Structure 1
Amino acid sequence: MGALHELSAAELVAAYRDRAVSPVEATRAVLDHIAAWEPRLHALYLPRPEAALAAARESEARWRRGEPLGPIDGVPITLKDNIATRGDPTPLGTRAVPLSPAQADAPPAARVRESGAVLLAKTTMPDYGMLSSGLSSFHALARNPWDLRKTPGGSSAGAGAAAAAGYGPLHVGTDIGGSLRLPAGWCGIFTLKPSLGRVPIDPPYTGRAAGPMTRTVADSALLMQVLSRPDARDSMSLPWQDIAWGEFDAAPERLRGLRIGLLLDAGCGLPVQPAVRAAVEDAARAFERAGAVVEAMPPFFTRAMLDGMDHFWRMRSHVDMKALPEDARAQVLPYIRQWADSAAGLSADAMFRAASQFHATRVATVAACAPFDYVLSPTSPVVAFEAELPSPTNDPLRPLEHIAFTVPFNMSEQPAASINCGYTDEGLPIGLQIAGRRFDDLGVLKVARAWERIREPQRPWPTPLIEG
């Protein structure tokens, strides 16, 4: 058995069952590891070691009685800042929000508590979740454990960093345009953005999903057993299905005969960096060797679609910020204020055309994917950029140039995963996105697991002794 903080959730649960390890021992090991990393990583919000150890002791007693509450009882876990936890403030990454205690656990928080998981802390995010970096007016600047000069991505910034750094095996983030997959790709971990409504969330919103962020496909499949349980508060949730999440463990033979689309040109946004393109092309050739039929896929996402969504989100944020008291509004990151205020002059006609691009994106994405069982693409056209930057362009008038591969699948409601497929010469991870048809969340997990089996050996996870 390896170091306890390195064990997967499945390994921990098996060790608890066999009484080889206790939840208290595992939690202490993770907390010690966090103490070595966190002063430089800044992944956590509201860390509560004593509360975590108290929860671990309760779990230990349940395992001794042979009465675990659920499949992740006693497993250390973190939740993103914007997933409300009862009694705690939910700052949404910004100093502009009053620190009022939440009245109830949001659905993902409720599900993991009901299953007996040990909540270590919340994780950091940028202001309002509107950046793909860890830059925040409220939280300390989150950094990437592979290279502390780089961003972990966002908006699930702290969760991506925590998973890569070994802050326990399970982490939960959210995604409305790439906020699970971008940090997963830039931190070298695995995530699944589920089909819209597969994981209940409150408040629900067009394209918004919560999902697991883990080092392995197996741990995400285990966490999906818990997160996908029903909650009536999500008016956009899917009818609950008894999905056999435990059947995720597909052999490479699973790929034989699958028709795979290979999307290397998103249609707009930043050009794909050569190292990213090469890694994704190498992955596609490995799929072909495993028996899949891989076919180049023409771009379908357009500048009008990306700009329309951008302008709509600008106006939404502009309206929200206008409602803030002036002193609170001044606390928001200047980059985000400039981005939002640029919508002030948009006409009603312009806003209608902008809003219509959400549906246009949905229709185009579904049609483009229809001939294929699954679609491979880069998660992002670029690898992790400087930690201090809000976005790769550092331009509030060109803020979303890096999400053209990810955001279409939010609007089409299709499941999409990110999994590592290589490294740059500098050692930065490169993400491979695997998208499936709507509702085929388990299928995406199976394809990701098959890829996990056939890909080249992965580099060791970063340690707090290696600063990049």
Structure 2
Amino acid sequence: MLDLTARELLKLFRTRSLSPVEYARHLVAHIARWEPALGALYLYDPDRLLSEAAQSEARWMAGTPAGMLDGVPVTVKELIATRGDPIPQGSAASPLVPAPADAPIAARLKEAGAIIFAKTTVPDFGMLSSGLSTFHRLARNPWNLACNPGGSSAGASAAAAAGYGPLHVGTDIGGSVRLPAAWCGLVGFKPSLGRIPVDPYYIGRCAGPMTRTVDDAALMMPVLALPDARDATSLPPEAIDWDGYYRGMRLRGLRIGLQLEPGCGLPLDAEIRAAVTAAAERLAELGAEIVPVPPVMTQDMLSGLDDYWTARSWAELRKLPEDRMDKVLPFIRDWASRGKNIDGVRAVDGLGQTFAMRRACAALFESVDAVLSPTTPVVSFPAEFPGPTNDPDRSFDHIVYTVPWNMSEQPAVSINCGFSSDGMPIGLQIVTPRFADLDALRLASVCETARGPITSWPAPPAA
């Protein structure tokens, strides 16, 4: 039952073959078996889940569902505000102040009848590709509990892979939806900047679905993409037929760039290279023209980005009283404190490298219709690490495949394309032109169909 997609759940609710309460009871029992080992959830409230499921069941029985997701359990990332709940940002240094209102994503999900039964854990200040936090329990990867789920949407990826319901939402400013999706075998969709309104908004900051299937990611988009005036970067409302991804994509004549080299940062693992190459070959067999393309990232871009973010992070951390500064994760404190030595000119130059990324991405798309690449350069890393390098001087070395598409504002989706020799998922990233969000899902669907379904998701540890 817990492997059902959201669309399958809704069909069963509609035909009264399964009730929201029956499903919620199974989910509560399942989470009880998993969560002590996984550490994916914050503010988990099983009683509220069961109560709201009962209300949804009554609506379905009366033939008056509240919206297109009525009764479907959903999680949202801790950084997404829900009214009355504090937002610790994964750090023991944060004051626990209740949020005055739902952020756009939470508001839209509730309006659609979805049951937000928990929030998902993040690392300190959302600044790590890791499940390591001074506020939350350590989040682990369901495929191997000794491994990291990635981040900063760490709990969301762990929850989705472990079957905590079909629908989860993360946020992404440099890969925080796609990276953990890759490490946990999921679909992680970062749409065009502004497609899903967020609050607060920032350079490159997006939100997106984290699901087991492309179908469920597409199902969420009509809800998440509804307008909200609080996001001044949001796109004008557009009537997109998100279910249109079902019609697939004509591959013959499509020119797809295969980007294997990272350009800088960590070298690409051989098993990832082989899996991504095999995925590209499957598309070539279906009619696409696959052409090798160079990396868009350079060391100057990566170093400049690191300069800017360390300076920005130090500007925030230095405001903390000493007793709260002592509670910040040492890795974050060490990394951000480098910002003390970055002057204004160097920080501005670092910010300028985001525009260099954007120019490089635009130039690449003059010759191709889409790009395939690895999502991550490494297969896995230890659960206790703050990131793949475990080095504050190289904390961005793993985001070279993902971060440029945040800066260029283009849609990008990670989808599983195989497994390593030790059984860990491998992510394929698909990038399409700015605003071509539906094409990203269509191409992901083609890859998903060619790959075949994942039939053996992780099971809870034995009691």
Report if aligned partners of 1:250, 1:450 keep a CA contact under 8 Å in 2.
Answer: no
| 1:26 positional shift | 1.1
CA–CA distance in structure 2, aligned partners of residues 151 and 369 of structure 1: 33
> Partner residue of 2:125?
128
| 1:68 positional shift | 1.5
Report if aligned partners of 1:301, 1:365 keep a CA contact under 8 Å in 2.
Answer: no
- Number of residues paired by the alignment? 463
> Partner residue of 2:193?
196
**Runs of 5+ consecutive residues of structure 1 not aligned to the other structure:** none
CA–CA distance in structure 2, aligned partners of residues 370 and 402 of structure 1: 26
Corresponding residue to 1:386 among 382, 388, 402: 382
Is it true that 1:373 corresponds to 2:369 in the alignment?
yes
CA–CA distance in structure 1, aligned partners of residues 252 and 316 of structure 2: 50
Report if aligned partners of 2:257, 2:292 keep a CA contact under 8 Å in 1.
Answer: yes
CA–CA distance in structure 1, aligned partners of residues 147 and 352 of structure 2: 35
The 5 A counterparts of 1:167-182 are 167-182=164-179
> Partner residue of 1:409?
405
Is it true that 1:448 corresponds to 2:444 in the alignment?
yes
Report if aligned partners of 2:181, 2:427 keep a CA contact under 8 Å in 1.
Answer: yes
> Partner residue of 1:88?
85
Partner of 1:254, secondary structure, is: coil
Q: In the TM superposition, what whole-angstrom CA distance separates every residue of 1:380-422 from its partner, at most 9, and x where no partner exists?
A: 0111210000011111011010000000000000000000001
Report if aligned partners of 1:73, 1:118 keep a CA contact under 8 Å in 2.
Answer: yes
Corresponding residue to 2:108 among 108, 111, 116: 111
CA–CA distance in structure 2, aligned partners of residues 366 and 41 of structure 1: 40
Partner of 2:250, secondary structure, is: helix
CA–CA distance in structure 2, aligned partners of residues 377 and 134 of structure 1: 24
Q: Write the letter of the residue equivalent to 2:290.
A: V
Corresponding residue to 1:51 among 34, 48, 51: 48
Task: Let me know the Cα RMSD of the aligned residues.
Answer: 1.1
Partner of 1:6, secondary structure, is: coil
> Partner residue of 2:28?
31
CA–CA distance in structure 2, aligned partners of residues 423 and 409 of structure 1: 25
| 1:458 positional shift | 3.1
> Partner residue of 2:341?
345
Q: Write the letter of the residue equivalent to 1:189.
A: L
| 1:370 positional shift | 2.5
Is it true that 1:66 corresponds to 2:63 in the alignment?
yes
CA–CA distance in structure 1, aligned partners of residues 339 and 276 of structure 2: 36
> Partner residue of 1:17?
14
CA–CA distance in structure 1, aligned partners of residues 245 and 175 of structure 2: 23
Report if aligned partners of 2:269, 2:378 keep a CA contact under 8 Å in 1.
Answer: yes
> Partner residue of 1:310?
306
Is it true that 1:281 corresponds to 2:277 in the alignment?
yes
Report if aligned partners of 1:254, 1:447 keep a CA contact under 8 Å in 2.
Answer: no
Q: Write the letter of the residue equivalent to 1:33.
A: H
Is it true that 1:438 corresponds to 2:427 in the alignment?
no
Corresponding residue to 1:186 among 183, 188, 205: 183
After TM superposition, the structure 1 stretch with the greater mean CA deviation from structure 2, 356-365 or 170-179, is: 356-365
| 1:103 positional shift | 0.2
Report if aligned partners of 2:78, 2:119 keep a CA contact under 8 Å in 1.
Answer: yes
CA–CA distance in structure 1, aligned partners of residues 359 and 143 of structure 2: 38
Is it true that 1:100 corresponds to 2:102 in the alignment?
no
Q: Write the letter of the residue equivalent to 2:340.
A: A
Report if aligned partners of 1:107, 1:231 keep a CA contact under 8 Å in 2.
Answer: yes
Partner of 1:10, secondary structure, is: helix
Report if aligned partners of 1:145, 1:164 keep a CA contact under 8 Å in 2.
Answer: yes
CA–CA distance in structure 1, aligned partners of residues 313 and 376 of structure 2: 24
Partner of 1:404, secondary structure, is: coil
TM-score (normalised: structure 1): 0.97
> Partner residue of 1:426?
422
Report if aligned partners of 1:280, 1:378 keep a CA contact under 8 Å in 2.
Answer: yes
Partner of 1:183, secondary structure, is: helix
CA–CA distance in structure 1, aligned partners of residues 156 and 213 of structure 2: 14
Partner of 1:77, secondary structure, is: strand
CA–CA distance in structure 1, aligned partners of residues 382 and 250 of structure 2: 38
CA–CA distance in structure 2, aligned partners of residues 384 and 180 of structure 1: 16
CA–CA distance in structure 2, aligned partners of residues 71 and 269 of structure 1: 43
| 1:44 positional shift | 0.3
Q: Write the letter of the residue equivalent to 1:37.
A: W
> Partner residue of 1:226?
223
| 1:32 positional shift | 1.1
> Partner residue of 1:8?
5
Corresponding residue to 2:265 among 264, 269, 294: 269
| 1:161 positional shift | 0.5
Q: Write the letter of the residue equivalent to 2:246.
A: D
| 1:455 positional shift | 1.2
Q: In the TM superposition, what whole-angstrom CA distance separates every residue of 1:111-156 from its partner, at most 9, and x where no partner exists?
A: 0000010112000000011000100000000000000000000000
Q: Write the letter of the residue equivalent to 2:227.
A: P
Corresponding residue to 2:157 among 156, 160, 172: 160
Q: In the TM superposition, what whole-angstrom CA distance separates every residue of 1:36-81 from its partner, at most 9, and x where no partner exists?
A: 1000000000100111111111111111122212221110100100
After TM superposition, the structure 1 stretch with the greater mean CA deviation from structure 2, 431-440 or 344-353, is: 344-353
> Partner residue of 1:460?
456
CA–CA distance in structure 2, aligned partners of residues 366 and 49 of structure 1: 47
Q: Write the letter of the residue equivalent to 2:154.
A: A
Partner of 2:339, secondary structure, is: coil
